[in-house]
Chains A and B, each alone.
Chain A
Amino acid sequence: MTIVIGIESTSHTFGVGIVQRNDYGIRILANEYSKYIPVRGGIHPREASLHHAREAPRVLKSALDKAGISIKDVDAIAVALGPGLGPCLRVGATLARFLSSYYSKPLIPVNHAVAHIEIGKFVARFTDPLVIYVSGGNTLVAIQRKKRYRVLGETLDIPLGNLLDTFAREVGLAPPYVVNGKHQVDICSEWGQSFIDLPYTVKGIDLSFSGLLTASLKYAEKIKAREELGDICLSLRETAFDMIVEVAERALLLTGKKEVLLVGGVASNNVLRQKLDTMAALHGARYEGTPPEVSGDNGAMIAYTGLLLYEHGTTIEPEKAFIKQRWRLDEVELPWLPD
């Protein structure tokens, strides 16, 4: 039996997850987190890191309580060392280095993007999916090849989550960005009636959202009624999601995969899920999204990926465990992936 604890602090969420491997398989014992919600504006890295430092001991304790174990029962400490916001990453890394050296437990470095994909695969029971990873910091399409996730296509400028959040903020809809599991842009779309032609930028399997954002904000400056803002939200969302689905479709046909997996923070969006599901069905592929508990940033995905790494002998000395603000998905070699 192996128990691994995972610490996540790359961005707005401080999370601690605990997973266990026994003879029957892998189980998530706890997945506790605390989310930093800005009073106004977007994520302020220092404010977020202060929040994490304040919340860290409480979240850690509540995760251990929930799992019914003590830190001494843990076999290894996994931590997301990047990519992410420096000040936030440092909180998680500091805690992990301390736990590792004080209790003499091996430390495991986890790439946040890899963790998102691995937990998605685990929940969906997929082995070789086409991965669509959409969040506040990433928008990319990837496949497994030669022991790595290879990025087939990605955003050339801003990520999808960033597009939706920035628009919602600039037109005064946010914060809060998400209400009852629905993004403000989705709520606003419900007022929309007609479709505005907005910039649609797909380059092969790459895409670009910055033109779409600028054009939408320009339209938003001129509106007089609430319904008109609805039209913009609807058109913005449809255009952005159609771009993602088209890119996914191109990648699916290029690679001939039979599984389509949606992961990352925006994976909890119902509209996007439906579109991708429809697209996958057209080509006889199975679609699986990631449930909200593990699609947003969380500690369980770090613990789970840490467990896989630990079983394959990947550990790091605490004094060498530096954070990596930039750490691309395709840089990480993963022993369990096929050649």
Chain B
Amino acid sequence: MASRLTLLGEGAEAKIYLLEVFNTKLIVKHRISKPYRHPLFDKLFRERRTKTEARVLSKLYSSNLPVPAPLFVDPFNSIIIMEYVPGKKLSDMIYQLNKDVVNSIAYRLGEYVGKMHRLNIYHGDLTLANILYSKNIDRIFLIDFGLAGYSTDIEEYAIDIHLIERSINALAPELSKSFVESFWQGYMEGYGENAHEIKNRVHEIKMRGRYVEERLKKRLEHERYR
């Protein structure tokens, strides 16, 4: 049995194994204990994240969004077994893709994220490393919902988008402008009505960052014309 488990990779908080049963590929996600965390906190922490992830995955999967289907959950040992989805991390391969493909990915991503937010779910860690892309079937999958949750507060949705924008900015600044534009087109489609509210909030979050020059200017203008 153990020989059929192969370590695929290690994320920040979990080990990911590939498991083969009856010629079916499965993914086992095991949240590991961290030596730097306070022991009492560590247990609580892993249990909570495992439960949330399973709950969110099942909701998204049943709503036809491209996420792996959760098949088995053991919160006490912080294990989730889920469907295997193909693809490589977008963060590793974005440099190899041409601009049109990147824009098409961004559009679809925007659409899926919009639909997810419509279900009152936020991802909480929406970076290029948590998006898989398979060249062969030209499909993307969203993974790693450990920081996800349910909320009706548009702040959470806006933070998702803020994170993806910053992720592309940090990893591929030259692609970021057209990526963000395509993403928003898709998002408008997926989220539907009132998507501009989220767009405004994303801008607001950016202005909230430490030492943003534009923020100061805005305030000065406001005071001047009052």
Give me the interface of A with B, judged by CB distance under 8 Å: 82-83, 137-138, 140, 143, 145-146, 150-157, 159, 194-195, 197, 200, 202-206, 238-239, 242, 245-246, 249-250, 252-254, 274-276, 278-279, 282, 324-328, 331
- Cβ contacts under 8 Å, A153 to chain B: 166
Whether A156 lies near B205 (C-beta < 8 A) is yes
Closest CB of chain A to B109's CB: distance in Å?
Answer: 15
The smallest beta-carbon distance between B128 and chain A, in angstroms, is 8
Contact in complex: A242, B41 (CB < 8 Å): yes
Does B192 touch A at the CB level, under 8 Å? no
- With a CB–CB cut-off of 8 A, which chain A residues contact B126? 204
- Check B163–A326 contact: CB distance below 8 A: no
Chain B residue at smallest Cβ distance from A203: B159
B12 touches A253 (CB 8 A): yes
Given contacts A150-B169, A327-B213, is CB(A245)–CB(B36) below 8 Å? yes
A interface footprint on B160-171 (CB within 8 Å = 1, 0 otherwise)? 001100110110
Contact of B216 among A143, A274, A278, A325 (CB under 8 A): A325
Given A146-B173, A203-B159, A154-B209 contact (CB < 8 Å): yes
A326 touches B211 (CB 8 A): yes
Considering the complex, give the chain A residue whose CB is closest to the CB of B35: A278
- In the complex, what distance in Å separates the CA atom of A203 from the CA atom of B151? 14
On whether A206 and B159 interact (CB within 8 A), knowing A137-B210, A150-B169, A328-B210, the answer reads yes
Whether A326 contacts B147 in the complex (CB less than 8 A), given A156-B208, A245-B36, A279-B36, comes out as: no
How far apart sit A275 and B37, CA to CA, in the bound complex (Å)? 8
Contact between chains at B12 and A250 (CB < 8 Å):
yes
Whether the pair A204, B215 counts as a contact (CB closer than 8 A) is no
Q: How far is A151 from B212 in the complex, measured between Cα atoms in Å?
A: 13
Residues A327 and B210 in contact, CB atoms below 8 Å apart: no
In the A-B complex, list the 10 residue pairs whose CB atoms are closest, starting with the nearest: A326-B211, A275-B36, A204-B163, A195-B40, A83-B211, A204-B125, A250-B12, A278-B36, A238-B38, A249-B12
Chief secondary structure at chain A's binding surface: mixed
Are B125 and A203 in touch, CB under 8 angstroms? yes
| Minimum Cβ distance to chain B for residue A285 (Å) | 13
Q: Which residues of A contact B163 (CB under 8 A)?
A: 203-206
Chain A residues with Cβ below 8 Å from B66 are none
| Residues on the B chain within 8 Å of A324, using CB | 213
Is there a chain A Cβ closer than 8 Å to B72's Cβ? no
Contacts of A252 in B (CB 8 A): 12
B45 touches A328 (CB 8 A): no
Q: A153-B166, A325-B216 are in contact. List 18 more A-B contacts (CB 8 A).
A: A138-B210, A143-B170, A145-B170, A145-B173, A156-B208, A194-B40, A197-B44, A203-B124, A203-B159, A204-B147, A206-B163, A242-B41, A246-B13, A254-B129, A275-B36, A276-B36, A326-B211, A328-B209
Task: Check B147 against A202 for contact (C-beta < 8 Å).
Answer: yes
A239, B209: Cβ atoms under 8 Å? Answer: no
The reply to whether B212 and A326 form a contact with Cβ atoms under 8 Å apart is yes
Residues of B in contact with A (beta carbons under 8 Å apart): 10-13, 34-38, 40-41, 44-45, 91, 124-127, 129, 147, 159, 162-163, 166-167, 169-170, 173, 205, 208-213, 215-216
The distance from the CB of A132 to the nearest CB of chain B, in whole angstroms, is: 13
Let me know if A204 and B41 touch, CB within 8 A.
Answer: no
With known contacts A152-B166, A275-B36, A282-B35, A254–B127 Cβ distance under 8 A: yes
Partner of B36, one of A150, A239, A242, A250: A242
Q: Is the CB of A205 within 8 A of B45?
A: no
Docked CA distance A328–B212 (Å): 6
Contacts of A143 in B (CB 8 A): 170
Identify the closest chain B residue to A254 (Cβ): B129
Q: Give bound CA distance, A197 to B44, whole Å.
A: 9
Q: How far is the CA of A254 from the CA of B45 in the complex (A)?
A: 22
Residues of A within 8 A of B129 (CB): 253-254
How long is the Cα–Cα vector from A140 to B41 in the complex, in angstroms? 24
Closest A residue to B45 by beta carbon equals: A200
Chain B residues whose CB sits within 8 angstroms of the CB of A145 once the complex forms: 170, 173
Q: Report the minimum CB–CB distance from A65 to chain B (whole Å).
A: 35
CB distance from B119 to the nearest CB of A (A): 19
- Max chain A Cβ within 10 angstroms of own Cβ: one of B10, B41, B173, B211: B211
Q: Which residues of B contact A157 (CB under 8 A)?
A: 208
- Whether B147 contacts A203 by the Cβ 8 Å rule is yes
Chain A residues, Cβ within 8 Å of B167: 204
User: Complex Cα distance A21/B207, Å?
Assistant: 40
Chain A minimum-CB-distance residue to B209 = A154
Chain B residues in 8 Å Cβ range of A195: 38, 40-41
| A250 touching B125 in the complex, CB below 8 Å, given contacts A145-B170, A146-B173, A156-B208 | yes
